[in-house]
Amino acid sequence: MEIDDLITPAHVVARLKATSKKQVLQELAKRAAELTGLHERSIFDVLLERERLGTTGVGNGIAIPHGKLAEMKSLFGLFARLEESVDFDSIDEQPVDLIFLLLAPEGAGADHLKALARVSRLLRDRGICEKLRGTDQPEALYALLTDSTASNAA
């Protein structure tokens, strides 16, 4: 499972504007709906439900909101770099500015977990995160996300 299996250049938002966790999830749901053809509300509801179980703010300014939808046909990723950090109830109580949304089909099981692990490994790399924070060009963000897969192979 590689990052370019989850995202394309169209799945990168270089300057997402949001002022709260809820607004971030709404914006992500809107963008994901545009790209998948699924209902924005369905995506938002599954993300919100997952957040109620516990935050997906994993620390170091990173969040990995995720969920499963029956209508999804395959794994789907969306990366967003926020214009301004927002409080995401993160485990380290630090605001979030890098977000990788992951959606999976209901029966994805192991594939969903492998994708989550892959994204988590990538975003644990402080060097990669510094570079992601250092550019607001979608093409550069996509290149950083996908080029790093070679050095972090599973």
Q: Could you tell me the CATH number of the domain that includes residue 142? A: 3.40.930.10
Q: How many domains does the chain have?
A: 1
Asked whether the beta carbons of 65 and 53 are under 8 A apart, the reply is no
**pTM listed for this prediction:** 0.92
pLDDT in tens, 69-109: 999 999 999 999 999 999 999 999 999 999 999 999 998 88
Asked whether the beta carbons of 4 and 133 are under 8 A apart, the reply is no
Length of the chain: 154
Is 39 a domain residue?
yes
- pLDDT the model gives residue 148: 54
Block residue for tokens 């924070």: 133
Is 152 a domain residue?
no
Is 153 a domain residue?
no
Is 68 a domain residue?
yes
User: Average of pLDDT values for 5-34?
Assistant: 95
What's the domain range around 44?
3-147
Active site (catalytic) residues: 66
Is 86 a domain residue?
yes
- pLDDT the model gives residue 38: 95
- pLDDT the model gives residue 151: 46
| Residue 47 pLDDT greater than 90, yes or no | yes
Is 100 a domain residue?
yes
* Distant-in-sequence contacts of 49-52, Cβ < 8 A, 24+ apart: 51/21, 51/25, 51/89
Is 154 a domain residue?
no
